[in-house]
Structure 1
Amino acid sequence: MGCAWKINPGLGDLPWFLLFYFVTELGSIQNVRCYTYRELRNATEGFSTANKIGEGGFGSVYKGRLKHGKIAAIKVLSAESRQGVKEFLAEIKAMSEIEHENLVKLYGCCVEDNHRILVYNYLENNSLAHTLLDGGHSHSNIQFSWRTRTKICIGVARGLTFLHEEVKPYIVHRDIKASNILLDKDLTAKISDFGLAKLIPDNQTHVSTRVAGTLGYLAPEYAIRGKLTRKADLYSFGVLLLEIVSGRNNTNTRLSVEDQYLLEWV
């Protein structure tokens, strides 16, 4: 069964064609549970700042305890989020039918009034950006030995291989970066945030699309021509590997000019 949905005041303000697209697409998505806003508000103790575990341009992520005690990461998209309706649906569609050890697991979503919320499995050790690359400000106790770093690199590679080779139609993530690589209690890497993901049929060599992603991780040929292939993810993965090996962000403006950009420095 797809998510039950009704027109709500917040979404009713959308243009009619976008609203029709939203209703049609969400109703066709299978294997996704619909949570009420009240359920998720209770799970996070009123979206308490004490339960906030992340924040970005899309909104905030909270740790919450669902009914029956399951712990979840609850991603609340802000009204000003860069992730619009299409990106919200893209993330749900990309994650609703797939499951892999190196991908986050989507539990469900909430579409009520003007609220757009995604519910994922909770990962104890946050993101690589938070634990490894934030300059020591995360207070993380993780020891990133070479063995651990190798395990993380291989985990991300396995997740990408699954998206690129085993899923049909295959999925190009378009935003592989340190903040989108989460770590569970065993430091197993999980690829997250599929809001920019594109599904590409086997009979197409590429899709032409507006360029999206994060500066510093964008493949030059994709940024210039707008032709998306799996190679865009591989370039981003290469930048991520350099970050994991060096322990520094791909851009750091606090350094001297010649050392600010990781690729140039390497």
Structure 2
Amino acid sequence: MGICFSAQGQFQFSQNQNSSQKKKTPAPGKKSKSAVYLMNTDCKESSVGGKPSPSGLPLPPKNIKDLQSNPGYENVDIFTYEEMKLATKQFRPDFILGEGGFGVVYKGVVDETVRPGYKSTKVAIKELNPEGFQGDREWLAEVNYLGQLSHPNLVKLIGYCCEDDHRLLVYEYMSLGSLEKHLFRRVGCTLTWSKRLKIALHAAKGLAFLHGAERSVIYRDLKTANILLDECYNAKLADFGLAKDGPSGDQTHVSTRVMGTYGYAAPEYVMTGHLTSRSDVYGFGVLLLEMLLGKRAMDKSRPCREHNLVEWARPLLNHNKKLLRIIDPRMDGQYTTKALMKVADLAYQCLSQNPKGRPLMSHVVEVLETLKEDGNAQEEVMANLHSRGKSVTLYEAAPCDSSQGTRNVDGQRRSGRSKSEASVDVSALVSDSDPESTKV
């Protein structure tokens, strides 16, 4: 158990206004992999180096020498490769927590036997695979952001190791692993309604913190695999390899290569490469939808019309009866219809095709805080009733007259999609060469 990362293939995706290009990028001297990288050569990434970025943080250094010469990493330890071998018992196979395109994650302990005088600390150690999908640029970005940013809902970077061809990151150990591992478990799922609300709230707080910085940071890769849980189901955002500084001055967006996870990426970002904090809000809406339904954002094993969870389920979020039929049955009896519809309405707003129609993450936090407080009070009532030998069902099907249209939680009539929100089929823009891949 512990920190866990998606083992699915990773993709970079980019769409020119006129055409898209496919380009295989095999490692030097190696055979090309089946993964396809799609690169937009017209999009410009921010320059990197030791100069301050708009957020006030140093931009990701070009190399490890630049990183070690930059100030501001006083709380991040630098480990040797030999110390990492000791911490993982020579990288024992049974210490592996997860594996993906980046490499392997091991559990370990840094203590007196590793470094004299070091307080014993359980850690998760991610070793970068030089032939994998993440390179030095992403590794350095992760050190840059997590080395500088500190918040209860961001995973803590304890240290790193960089020797010769070895690139390792050392994180705090999250004993329950990723949300992905729990949410999509076929049997034995322990994620109750209240736990899901708690996790959603913590993820929202992490994003709100990033967006609310003096100059915002855009996370860019929100997904269940990147949300880690401790033993109390406290959630933290992990993996900042794709994070970017937000727009500054009179800029409205950041132009960049389109990178992230297919199914979570905002439509306007996929189409134009224009990145804003509202792109993260869309990703949060996808996450919220997955938690409501207990289904993955993309799954080709489902019926054809249900492959893309957002396209299929978003129009149903405003219909009480239809929503109650598709909600994750493992939460049966744990919520009120009022609370369910509030969360569904929040997900609906976050998934708006129009970026300006999406709420700020600070507003999302406010809504979820209220729901969590109501849920805690409801659980207390349940506990009292059960202690008296009584049973209680917390949800009920609200009356719905289809002839009168649908209504949101405030009683206002609303259709499944506004006229200004034209459907965007991003599935046509992504290679089908690997049906299991989730990276755009």
- TM-score of the superposition, structure 2-length normalised? 0.53
Number of residue-to-residue matches in the alignment: 244
Partners of 1:149 and 1:83 in 2: CA distance: 30
Which amino acid in 2 is paired with 1:256?
P
User: Paired residue for 1:253?
Assistant: 300
Higher strand share: 1
Which amino acid in 2 is paired with 1:27?
S
* 1:13-162 correspondence to structure 2 within 5 Å: 21-22=62-63, 23-29=65-71, 30-31=73-74, 32-67=76-111, 68-136=119-187, 143-162=190-209
- Post-superposition offset of 1:99: 1.1
- Post-superposition offset of 1:114: 0.2
* 1:173-252 correspondence to structure 2 within 5 Å: 173-200=219-246, 202-203=248-249, 204-252=251-299
Which amino acid in 2 is paired with 1:120?
Y
- Post-superposition offset of 1:145: 1.1
User: Paired residue for 2:310?
Assistant: 263
Partners of 1:177 and 1:193 in 2: CA distance: 10
Partners of 2:160 and 2:66 in 1: CA distance: 16
Partners of 2:218 and 2:129 in 1: CA distance: 25
Higher relative contact order (CA 8 A, sep 6+): 2
Q: Which moved more, 1:199-208 or 1:95-104?
A: 199-208
Partners of 2:193 and 2:229 in 1: CA distance: 16
Structure 1 unaligned residues grouped into runs of 5+: 1-16
Partners of 1:210 and 1:95 in 2: CA distance: 22
The 4+ residue runs of structure 1 with deviation greater than 6 A are none
Partners of 2:68 and 2:285 in 1: CA distance: 34
Structure 2 unaligned residues grouped into runs of 5+: 1-47, 50-60, 112-118, 314-440
Which amino acid in 1 is paired with 2:132?
S
Question: Secondary structure at 2:142's aligned position in 1?
Answer: helix
Which amino acid in 1 is paired with 2:308?
Y
| 1:184-242 CA distance string (max 9 Å, x none) | 11101100000000123542332111111010011010111111110111111100000
Question: Secondary structure at 1:211's aligned position in 2?
Answer: coil
Question: Secondary structure at 2:62's aligned position in 1?
Answer: helix
Partners of 1:111 and 1:232 in 2: CA distance: 32
- Post-superposition offset of 1:21: 2.5
Partners of 1:168 and 1:74 in 2: CA distance: 31
Partners of 1:109 and 1:151 in 2: CA distance: 30
Partners of 1:201 and 1:208 in 2: CA distance: 9
Partners of 1:82 and 1:231 in 2: CA distance: 26
Percent of pairs with identical residues: 43
Question: Secondary structure at 1:21's aligned position in 2?
Answer: coil
Question: Secondary structure at 2:269's aligned position in 1?
Answer: helix
Partners of 1:62 and 1:25 in 2: CA distance: 24
Is contact 1:123–1:185 with CA below 8 Å preserved after alignment?
yes
- TM-score of the superposition, structure 1-length normalised? 0.87
Is contact 1:26–1:89 with CA below 8 Å preserved after alignment?
no
Alignment RMSD (CA, Å): 1.8
Which amino acid in 1 is paired with 2:178?
S
User: Paired residue for 1:169?
Assistant: 215
- Post-superposition offset of 1:251: 1.4
Which amino acid in 2 is paired with 1:78?
N
Which is higher, the Rg of structure 1 or of structure 2?
A: 2
| 1:237-266 CA distance string (max 9 Å, x none) | 100000111111111222221222211221
Which amino acid in 2 is paired with 1:263?
V
Is contact 2:182–2:191 with CA below 8 Å preserved after alignment?
no
